[in-house]
Chain A
Amino acid sequence: MTPLTQINAEITTHPAGDLLTSEEVSLARRELRRKKLIALALVIPLLIFLFFTFVAPIGTMLYRSVYNPTVAELIPQTLSSLESWDGQGMPDKAVMSQMAADMKRLANLRKSGKLAESINRYLPGTSSVIKSTARKLRRKDDQKIISQGAEFLLAANDKWSQPEIWQALIKAGKVYTDGYFLTALDLERNDAGDIQQRTSTQIYIKLYAKTLRMALIITFMCLLLGYPLAYYLANAPSKTANMLMILVLLPFWTSLLVRTTAWIAMLQTNGVINSLLTSLHVISSPLEMLYTEFSTIIAMTHILLPFMILPLYSVMKGIDPSLMRAAMSMGAKPPSAFISVYFPNTLPGLSAGALLVFIISVGYYITPALVGGTDGQMISNIIAFHMQQSNNWGLAAALGSLLLVLILTLYWVYDRFVGASNIKLG
């Protein structure tokens, strides 16, 4: 009950003599409003911070994955004149001349490269066509381009006589596009405009699957290593437990980069493990461990282990030790008492830890980038690639949005079957 309804309830339930006068009611209301304002003022800085660091970036990312204004801004007139074209055969001469005029303008503004790059995503091989044509058009007279632009284009490159390049222009010219999402899902539109599996390379779905598989393996490894340790910690005398807890938390105090690089030193061809095994004559030639999926999984398990141990530990610490004793006094052997009584009570911590590790590892970037090589790359590395190297922010945004959707879906499934209220972080 909010304080206000409480006041109302008091008004209605009290005998007439206890009724508040209207003045008192308004005073009480004002007091309540003042409290609410103060509460709001206290959280406003956080809300602003959250907006700029969380809501706004994610919103921008989602928007970018469907918003593609580059081409539309570069050649607006060509695009509007292309609207009259039915998509069959070749467009009108006037349209082609308009394109020539736009390209000359872009060439002089030194923006033809940007156009070439954008169109190339839709029709590979077009980049050089556009760049060279633009170069040739730069010296042509404006008047002549208006009358003979189409001829100039055809003369510059015979690709201009094929409808595909014009279709590509239309596709690239759409301000709002589902193209990035289709690409991210290994789909494409065929000439008829229907969605189909991409005929060329298919990498993203496989990468998503691999990312999920690796995250699952990492979660499972963390569980396997973390559960017994958390159990030991929770039942050890507090002096030992505190000491060991510091060791568990130690990784948080050292730089992530340092820890990851340490794994490079451990795993490389002439690294610690290989030299040790060789000198013990276990192996004759060094194992290839670095830059593989294996190294990513090992290093990430190490880095994420505390996220599994901490919730497990706090939940186990809260389990009454007399539960196990009670089970045993009732005749259960220790293993069966553990399975039927102790384990079910650790599930909140276990699911919290597993969820935490899984979600963090699905989106992990630094470790796979450093020790993963090509084999151990995860989806976030491809996203980073599109952000930094191929400059295809739209695709990066689409991949990121899909990752977000994937995680939300998994969380939803988890909530359906396990119940999010079961999570206990501390």
Chain B
Amino acid sequence: MASAQAVPVDEGANLEYAKHIRYWRRNLKTFLPHHYTGNDSMRMTLAFFILSAEDILGDLDGALSPEEREGFIEWVYACQLPNGCFRPSPATDFGSSRNDDNAIWDPAHVPGTFFALLILILLGDDLAQVKRPEILAWLTKLQRPDGSFGETIGVNGRIEGGNDTRFGYMVTGIRWILRGTVEGPIDGIPDINVDQFVRCIQASETYDGGISEAAFHEAHAGFASCAINALYLVDRLPLAAHQTPDNKIRGLTNLPQTLHWLAARQTLTIDEEDAFDTRGDETDSAATCHDAHSFVKLKSYPSATGEQAVRTQPTSHFELQWIGVNGRCNKIGDTCYAYWVGAPLKVLGHLDLLDKKAIRRWLLDKTQHIVGGFGKVPGAPPDIYHAYLGLVILAIFGEAGLKNVDAALCISNRAIRHLESLAWRKSIVG
């Protein structure tokens, strides 16, 4: 799907390739420390991040013996439920005690199923044991009348989980994997209501051009990314000027404004100290460092703090060396948002609206950790989530030594090509 990018040339900053491999091999081969207990019910997600990071680093074959590869594939299939979908962790498995009455507490799970499929694909499995019709039929039952999707089906058939775009993204990801962008019933298997899903995303577009979790909630890059990636996966992004209108409902009612909002996520506020508490302080001083502050002349200094801050502010443009990316207006930069902002821009064909060189330097100089991986902010210890998304955005930027990735599915193009080569899928997608 995606093609290779021009590599930003920069002498100073380096991706500590060997350290990242060491970091990810440790995650792969040894127990994760107990502070990951809060992720116990999403082990499939962690597993995907770990294996996909190894893939993007080109270390998958080096790290895995054929026996381990088979063993991991077996582990994923062991998470498959009788209805064909996947649980996200063995934590809910009742073993031989499972029955129809308690199955509700060990439910089929959207992220569990999405990440299980992605792992199988990147490990080279042919998905022959995946129950396509069952999974696809289940997706239609997860959709609410407003078009949004839930995470699981609970007591009395209630659709559980938030109605934000994350689940819609994963549902459309599963659908794309199992049937591409073809719409309508296939061989008697029903399809989700794509039009209604697009309407739901339109409703969560915000007054400032962003996208939120639901109508009238605050614009947030994570939800915007999921929404835009999902529109791409159902082929409902706005048409370009040269494309012939097809009368389909398409998402992003105001593309220029959404691009404006995405570009506005670049920030010079990259340290906790930059984002000093403005509570009770009406100054708009340079020291608050809200992006253009350093460059804008100040009209008045309403308080002593403000005046002091202005006097001590360095005047050069040195900060431009590092540009962070935030997830919401007036928030601090955070590694993961480089992906959540970069991925939709890539999908929309506008990655160049970001200052890739300065963002790359921020990641490599500021949030890359000495033991490998990336933390959330400068000085933070690496964690699997930020370490993975930091790596992926660098791959999207075209970092040398990393595999090309598909921005929307967040997986290597090599893995996507493997999926696209499978005979059963070719017969559907053509």
A and B from one assembly? no
